[in-house]
Amino acid sequence: MDMIKLTIDNREVEVPKGTTILKAAQGMGIDIPTLCHFELNNLGVHNRPGGCRICVVEVAGRRNLAPACVTECMPDMVVRTNSMRVINARRTVLELILSDHPADCLQCAKNGNCELQDLAVRFGIRKNPFIGPEHSQSSYQIEVSPSIIRDMNKCVMCRRCETMCNEMQTVGALSAIERGFPAVVSTAFNQHLDHSPCTFCGQCVAVCPVGALTEVDHTGAVLRAIVDPNKKTVVQVAPAVRVAIGEEFGMEPGTIATGKLTAALKALGFDYVFDTDWSADLTIMEEGTELIGRLTKYLGGDKSVPLPILTSCCPAWVNFFEHQFPEMRDLPSTAKSPQQMFGAIAKSYFAEKIGIKREDMISVSVMPCLAKKYEVGRDEFKVNGNPDVDYSISTRELARLIKMANIDFKSLPDAEFDSPLGQSTGAAVIFGTTGGVIEAAVRTAYEVITKKPLPKIDFEELRGLEGVRSATIDVDGLKLNIGIAHGLKNARKLLEDIKAGKCQFHAIEIMACPGGCIDGAGQPLHHGNADIIKARWEAIYRADREMPIRKSHENPSIQAIYKEFLGEPCGHKSHELLHTHYFDRQTTVEVDLNK
């Protein structure tokens, strides 16, 4: 590799050719402020528009200051990152950005977690000479969709959201539009997100440095439900939440906080604290049975069976194929997501068990996800207008509730989930990361097909953070070809292969967010630190190893509900409660010949 020698702040440094000044300086422990720049290296995410100019540095021999994030190191370059000229320029840049930004930080959803606010603190901005007369700032209407709030007055045009939507997810809902003051990131024809191909994956929200993109907040509604004496509240917690929520309370990334999380939910006053892991095990019973069913038919000679079977746990992924590949909507498993399976069981089986009407139960889910907020509102998940899950709140919203309620999370004694919808297995907890759903399915499918115990529970070949992975699992002579994709760009690759008839897979797992749910848009903000995602990923597999039971079909509480209530997996009752169907939501171009 070609190496380059240069001087930064009077120190000599050697870096590989192609390294930016920003990277080189970071490697030397020099902190250059950034705003638009964003990278998640091991997940292949890069946003480097060089647009905000907060990172400018002085390069000897150049007339103008250079943006460190997009300027490559050159041999014998002499760089100053902290001269008065640089500091003054950065301050002016910041004042100009702030001159077109509302100053209502106290009431902003990102208050205390905002990169622009941090910069204003760092540069000690007090009076801004560039603030014009009243109403001289750009003004856009706040738009509320089921998952995402767009308050574009706060947009700083870093365009991270646009990069996520177009390059990472290939959804193409967002683009920069207009110019000058009206310039903003928006949808085609400035339409509502509902009328765009948006999947509500929320990765735009996860990377927004300011309060322009935030989640729809249900904390108030959840609190009201908890204190309402006429309502019974039931809460479920998704697997990825337990390995991330600790971060909100200063715990190390990758801390498994299941016990404290359960205790906090009880302290908040939920009547029943259950686990989405329980319904993840249920999902494996249904989805696994469906996989075995389709495979058996296919191997028996019926080539019309829709294969490969695609997982259906991720609501953003469901939106993606409904919008972009509706002609393939017979491929995904018809199994509902664990959130919706839980909701359906809670408001039928469990409501009956405790003797209340479904209308008197408020079912809440805590999810690492924003698309789940959209999913709970889908018509097919309601009975007479009453949703199976009333409110889906994110990991961040739960942390806010816990802080609001003055609960000292770190010192809570561990608690256990309630029975009967709280018992789960290691197979369920790995649903929280890419590769986990399919590994859980394989653990069960192997034993059901072969009727022999698994020689080894850990399928290392299915794990990892590469965007597209594949493995062949030997199920007692039957070669099962598995594909895995995370990030919708990678999902698109696999779907296009299927369309072109180039796909050899029997089953494919897809999660919309890079890394899977551990990096879901509802998780504590990582501000571009990919190590945090890695730590959560490791914690998921650690949590699996620590479980006494690690295969879904061995969960006694799952076995019991089939015996007592559901009958057989994929049976009549299951189909009624645990399966769904998909729609064509493509925005199509059609010619109206009558005109």
Partner 1 sequence: MDNKKIIIKMKPEVREKVIEICNNFNNNPGELINVLHQTQDFLGYLPAEVQELIAERLHMPTAKVYGVVSFYAFFTMTPKGKYPVSVCMGTACYVRGGEKILDAFKKELGVEVGETDAKGIFSLTSLRCVGACGLAPVCLVDGKVYGRLAPAMVKDIVKEYRDKE
Residues forming contacts to partner 1 in the complex (CB under 8 A) are 166, 171-179, 186-190, 195-197, 379, 583-593, 595
Closest distance to partner 1 from the beta carbon of 191 (Å) = 9
Which of 182, 556 has the CB closer to partner 1? 182
CA angle, residues 285, 289, 290, in degrees to nearest 5: 120
Please state the closest distance from residue 491 (CB atom) to partner 1, in A: 16
Catalytic residue list contains 333: yes
Longest Cα–Cα distance of the chain, Å, equals: 80
**178 labelled catalytic:** no
Output the smallest distance, CB 286 to partner 1, in A: 23
CA 575 to centroid of chain Cα atoms: 28
Q: Return the number of the residue (191 or 450) whose C-beta is nearest partner 1.
A: 191
Least CB distance from residue 186 to partner 1, whole Å?
Answer: 8
Torsion over CA: 506, 507, 512, 517 (sign): negative
Which DSSP letter does residue 71 get?
P
Q: Closer CB to partner 1, residue 232 or residue 492? A: 492
Among candidate residues 375, 397, 439, 509, the one labeled active-site is 375
Catalytic residue of the set 52, 155, 198, 313: 313
- Sequence-distant (≥ 6) Cβ neighbours of residue 486 within 8 angstroms: 434, 467, 510, 511, 512, 513, 514, 515, 516
Nearer to partner 1, 181 or 583 (CB): 583
Residue 592 burial (C-beta neighbours within 10 Å; 0-12, 13-18, 19+): exposed
Nearer to partner 1, 55 or 164 (CB): 164
Active-site pick, 155, 517, 551, 574: 517
Nearest distance, CB of residue 591 and partner 1, angstroms: 5
The 3-state DSSP class for residue 387 equals strand
Contacts of 257 (CB under 8 A, 6+ apart): 242, 243, 245, 246, 251, 409
Q: Is residue 503 among the annotated active site residues?
A: no
- Both tokens of 543, joined, read 């949590």
Do residues 199 and 320 touch, judged by C-beta distance below 8 A? yes
Nearer to partner 1, 450 or 586 (CB): 586
44 backbone dihedrals φ, ψ, rounded to 5°: 70, 30
Structure tokens at 461: 């070949």
CB of 511 to partner 1, least distance (A): 22
Q: Between 188 and 457, name the residue whose CB sits nearer to partner 1.
A: 188
Which amino acid appears at position 541 of this protein?
Answer: Y
Question: Which residues 6+ apart lie within 8 Å of 120 measured at CB?
Answer: 94, 98
- DSSP annotation string for 399-453: HHHHHHTT--GGGPPP----SSS----HHHHGGGSTTHHHHHHHHHHHHHHH-S-
d(CA 521, CA 38): 16
How far is residue 389's CA from residue 294's CA, in Å, rounded to a whole number? 30
The answer to whether residue 372 is catalytic is yes
Parallel, antiparallel or unpaired: strands 232-237 and 361-367: parallel
User: 166 or 557: whose CB is closer to partner 1?
Assistant: 166
Say which of 215, 248, 286, 287 is annotated catalytic.
Answer: 287
Q: Is there a catalytic annotation at residue 517?
A: yes
Choosing from 260, 372, 373, 489, the catalytic residue is 372
Shortest approach of partner 1 to residue 144 CB, angstroms?
17
Compute the distance between CA of residue 431 and CA of residue 280 in angstroms, rounded to an integer. 7
User: Catalytic annotation on 380?
Assistant: yes
Residue 188 Cβ, how far from partner 1 at the closest point, in Å?
4
Residues that are catalytic: 287, 290, 313, 333, 372, 375, 380, 517
